[in-house]
Amino acid sequence: QNGLLNIVITYNIVLKATEWMRPNDDYRYDVQPSQRHTDFICQPGPAMHIDLLNRERLRYPMLERKKLVVADQVKKRPKALQKCARDFADWLLKYICSENENYKYVLVATKENANMLMKEGFISSYARDEILHGLERIKKDIEEGRFQWRDNKDLRTNIIDTLIDIVGGPAKRLDRVISHYVQLLTVLQLWCHDSIDQVISQTKELQTELFLLAIRNGGLVLPSIWRRANWILLGDVVLSQLEQLDMDVSQLVSCKNKMDSTLQTALPSDSTYCSMNSLCKDPRHMHNFAVEFGNLIVGDISRDLSNIGLELSSWMELHLLTPNDKVIESFSLMRKQMLDLDNLTATRSAYSIYNPVEDSSRRFLASFRSVSEILKAAKEFAKQSSFDHEKARTFLAPRDNFGASQLAEFHATKSLDGQNKDEGGSAIEKQNFRLHSDDTMRKLLDWPRRLQSEKND
């Protein structure tokens, strides 16, 4: 009851403050369901946030005047912004190299560098094989707990120094040809790749469970709390969530692809040691794409998960689900992580261009962990959820807010109660609703086929 009361109070406050008018129809038909900002009566989160470089970022298309202001800010402060990006990437590297569990990124980066040097003629195939053999020995020692970590050295230095002890000259040559910073940028690239893949994988798992939930409850009508409608098909809610998550995945894939084409080691043309200490062609690109990934996490992805989490939570708060221990447990975890994420992504002061970089980096890492936990909890919540169709049908809603006292009235109007009544909705209304319901189910069933087609392409 307290949960429902809080939702109703929030709804009333925002409704009085907004100039939007609700449609007169009991049901809002949408040919292409989407969680656009105009779909909601009240926004579950702010329309603007401060990104990791302390810039104002709008969630939705900005006014032309605002575009000019933002463009002017970027034009006037390029050096300061680039310094923020460099410091963010460097601090992130410091974190990665401080955690021994990230050893695999250093091993893979070193293997890639050894193969590249052999291909370019800086080391022989025999020397390359010695390096790879040494790396395999280090990997085995770490996995079996025999590796001797030096407390006063970071992860990369621990591994490279040990490789030099094992292999000798070839490992020293590798460490001299390629600058330490380029090696670290390769580690950063691999870590970002792995992290992006993790979020994409978890997002797709959540999408699958939401899809199955909608299929299991085809034709179910629910009260709508956050949207500009009184009642809505569960299938339409899920379709909009699938679309929302598809956009997030698309942005993550784009960011990862840009990283792939960015990091290029400019090797020297001669073999003198004084010219072998090469640098990345342009490390600024890698810095910027690391920030882009971070901003996706603290920005669009956090926002979208908050929207989805609030709708999932409303089903629990309104007692529309058959309670079970796994649903309650995943709901509690999801709510806790959502509160943490809201605090981390709340609108902050943008008066200063340069906030301490540790704040941005820690904020990103904490947000990344919360996003991962929310995706995991939301997936389990959707998987274990079972709607109480009778409670949903007879749901009693405040008349002042929803325009219809019971969902049963809606069912009767649309002839969803199994009774053929002459009174109630017109034949056209009933036909339109059933056509819409069938179309929603068709779109749902088309979603996995479309994904498979895109994967094959």
Confidence of residue 195 (pLDDT cuts 50, 70, 90): very high
Identify which of 51, 89, 83, 86 has the alpha carbon closest to the alpha carbon of residue 70: 51
Confidence of residue 183 (pLDDT cuts 50, 70, 90): confident
Work out the average pLDDT over 380-384. Answer: 95
Evaluate whether 137 touches 286 at the Cβ level (below 8 Å): no
Give 269's DSSP letter.
Answer: S
Q: Where are the alpha helices (DSSP H) in 217-282?
A: 234-260
pLDDT reading at 444 higher than 80: yes
Identify which of 317, 225, 315, 224 has the alpha carbon closest to the alpha carbon of residue 12: 225
Evaluate whether 65 touches 71 at the Cβ level (below 8 Å): no
State the sign of the Cα–Cα–Cα–Cα dihedral 429, 430, 431, 436.
positive
pLDDT reading at 185 higher than 70: yes
29-43, 406-420, 439-453 — which one is most confidently predicted on average?
Answer: 439-453
CA atoms of 42 and 18, how far apart (whole Å): 8
Give CA separation, 261 vs 189, 286, 337, in Å. Answer: 11, 10, 34
- Domains, the chain, in order of start with CATH, read 2-70+188-456 (1.20.200), 93-177 (1.10.275.10)
Confidence of residue 58 (pLDDT cuts 50, 70, 90): low
Identify which of 400, 27, 22, 387 has the alpha carbon closest to the alpha carbon of residue 213: 387
Q: For the segment 317-373, what is each residue's pLDDT rounded down to a tens digit?
A: 888 999 889 999 999 999 999 988 888 876 554 444 444 555 788 889 999 999 999
pLDDT reading at 118 higher than 80: yes
Cα three-residue angle 402-440-222, rounded to 5 degrees: 25
Work out the average pLDDT over 41-70. Answer: 58
Q: For the segment 83-106, what is each residue's pLDDT rounded down to a tens digit?
A: 888 999 999 999 999 888 999 999
CA atoms of 14 and 9, how far apart (whole Å): 9
Report pTM: 0.78
Least confident of 44-48, 113-117, 137-141, 305-309: 44-48
Q: Phi and psi (nearest 5°) for 161?
A: -60, -40
User: Per DSSP, what are the bridge partners of residue 280?
Assistant: 265
Residues above pLDDT 90, as percent of the chain: 36
